[in-house]
Each structure stands twice: as structure tokens, then as C-alpha cells.
Amino acid sequence: MMVRDDARGFASHPGEEVHVTAESCLFCRIAAGEIPANVVRSEEDVVAFRDINPQAPLHVLVIPRRHIPSVPALEAADGALVGRLFLVARDIAREEGVEEAGYRLVVNVGPAAGQSVPHLHLHVLGGRELDWPPG
């Protein structure tokens, strides 16, 4: 499989370079069906599945199929794909019945925000009151 230049993870220490290839990436493997997940939406470019450790009654992750490590790796040409992530998140919130009450979309970017999987993902959280500010 082709690994793009941006197919790297983020380093946990400055100067450390961590390479995460599409072959080794957990979310790439879920998107490819190699690791089981509770998939709620599967499209050509986007997949959505339930979080294994839900933080709210509704907790779905929306990801691009293509390995993009995080927001800093996005390019201008990815604009439509990012838009699609939001539209799929909107549809899931609607289908799961939380649109009227409200819900939260979260993207953790890098170590300080607690990003633990270096493959871009949009959290869809709902079904309970969500505190602000977040931790």
C-alpha cells in the first residue's frame, strides 16, 4: 500500500519522530474491516463507528478512510473531506435522536489535548448534559 508523506503519527517528546503507517494504524485497520468495530456509517471516503470506551450515551467516531494523522497534516485539498466528516456527524446525531437536545463535536489535536490515536477523528458526543469548559 502507498504511504503518503503525511502518514506519520505525532511524537510524544519533542524531536522524537513516530511513524505510523496505514498498515499499523488502528483506525485504518478498522476502516479496512481488519479490526471489528460497531460501524454506524460506511461511505467511500468516511467511516463512523461507536467508541469502544463511550464517554456519553452516544459516542461515535467519524474518520476519513485515508490515513491523515491529525489536523496539522490537513491540506487545502482536504476541505471537502473535512466537510463530509461534519455532515456525517450531523446525520448521525439526527439519526440517534440527539439533534434537538444538542450534542458536541470534538477533535483532540496532539498530546496536550489527549489525542491518543494518530488518525484524524471527530467525536460525536450526546445523550446527556455536557459540561463546559471540558477538562
Give 12 or 53: the residue with its C-beta nearer to ligand 5GP. 53
Spatial distance between the Cα atoms of 90 and 95, rounded to a whole number of angstroms = 9
Stretch that binds ligand 5GP, among 11-19, 47-55, 75-83, 95-103 (CB under 6 A): 47-55
Phi and psi at residue 98, to the nearest 5°: -110, 0
Spatial distance between the Cα atoms of 95 and 116, rounded to a whole number of angstroms = 27
CA terminus-to-terminus distance, the chain: 38
Residue 117 within binding range of ligand 5GP, rule CB under 6 A: yes
Q: Is the dihedral of CA 117, 109, 63, 119 positive or negative?
A: negative
Residue 52 within binding range of ligand 5GP, rule CB under 6 A: yes
Residue 91 within binding range of ligand 5GP, rule CB under 6 A: no
Stretch that binds Zn ion, among 41-49, 67-75, 85-93, 104-112 (CB under 5 A): 67-75
Classify residue 42 as left (phi > 0), alpha (psi -120 to 50) or beta.
Answer: beta
Spatial distance between the Cα atoms of 95 and 27, rounded to a whole number of angstroms = 23
Residue 33 within binding range of ligand 5GP, rule CB under 6 A: no
Active site residue 121: yes
Q: Which residues bind Zn ion (CB under 5 A)?
A: 25, 27-28, 67, 119
Q: Which residues bind ligand 5GP (CB under 6 A)?
A: 26, 37, 49-53, 61, 108, 114-117
Active site residues: 121
